[in-house]
Amino acid sequence: MDDLNQYQPFEVDQHLTAHGNYWAGRAGSRFYRALRDRRRILGSPCRNCRKVFWPPRSICTFCFSELREMVEIGPLGTVETFTLVTYAEPVHPRPAPFIYAVIRLDGADTGMAHFLDEVEYERVHVGMRVRPVFAPQRKGNILDILYFKPL
Ligand SMILES: [Zn+2]
């Protein structure tokens, strides 16, 4: 007979796959609609801090002000940092190898990671000027920007 007060943890090895939809939020909804419908990239400015966030957000990370305004930023930008991904991960939207770069769009004060293509890794450098390549058929997600490439 088992003693209910004495037990050992039992681990179940299980992999779950779940597809779902979620609301992108007020800022995210405006951002993705502009990207999908007009190929425009929006950021959210904080007038108090004089910072423009990309991707846009609803609350300033510095002063916690509510951010209701959106401004167009980019489309040109600058590589702030980068790396060569040489291994496959399920979360990567494409097979390796590829370059991830944090790109700060003109008019924004924050950067965002995205693919950098049409350049050899050895030629990539901090400060490289880049532009987005938009998907011909956009779906309302960040891959509506297929990748960035050097000017
Ligand atoms: Zn602020």
Q: How far is the CA of 69 from the centre of ligand 1 (A)?
A: 12
pLDDT for 8-57, tens place per residue?
A: 877 888 888 888 888 989 999 999 999 999 999 999 999 999 999 999 99
Q: How far is the CA of 87 from the centre of ligand 1 (A)?
A: 38
Q: Is the pLDDT of residue 5 over 80?
A: no
Q: How far is the CA of 62 from the centre of ligand 1 (A)?
A: 5
pLDDT for 62-110, tens place per residue?
A: 999 999 999 999 999 999 999 999 998 888 889 999 999 999 999 999 9
Closest CA to 24 of 144, 119, 147, 150: 144
Q: How far is the CA of 55 from the centre of ligand 1 (A)?
A: 15
Closest CA to 69 of 38, 39, 45: 45
Q: How far is the CA of 127 from the centre of ligand 1 (A)?
A: 26
Q: Which band of pLDDT confidence, cut at 50, 70 and 90, is reported for residue 3?
A: low
pLDDT for 98-130, tens place per residue?
A: 999 999 999 999 999 999 999 999 999 999 999
Q: How far is the CA of 49 from the centre of ligand 1 (A)?
A: 4
Q: How far is the CA of 124 from the centre of ligand 1 (A)?
A: 32
Question: What is the pLDDT, as a whole number, of residue 101?
Answer: 98
Question: What is the pLDDT, as a whole number, of residue 21?
Answer: 87
Question: What is the pLDDT, as a whole number, of residue 37?
Answer: 97
Question: What is the pLDDT, as a whole number, of residue 22?
Answer: 85
Tokens of 52: 């423009």
For the whole model, what pTM was predicted? 0.85
Cβ–Cβ under 8 Å, residues 35 and 7:
no
Q: How far is the CA of 70 from the centre of ligand 1 (A)?
A: 14
Show the beta-strand stretches assigned E in the chain: 41-46, 51-53, 71-73, 77-85, 98-105, 112-116, 129-134, 145-150
Spatial distance between the Cα atoms of 132 and 121, rounded to a whole number of angstroms: 17
Q: Is the pLDDT of residue 6 over 80?
A: no
Spatial distance between the Cα atoms of 74 and 105, rounded to a whole number of angstroms: 5
Q: How far is the CA of 95 from the centre of ligand 1 (A)?
A: 38
Closest CA to 143 of 18, 23, 17, 35: 35
Q: How far is the CA of 36 from the centre of ligand 1 (A)?
A: 28
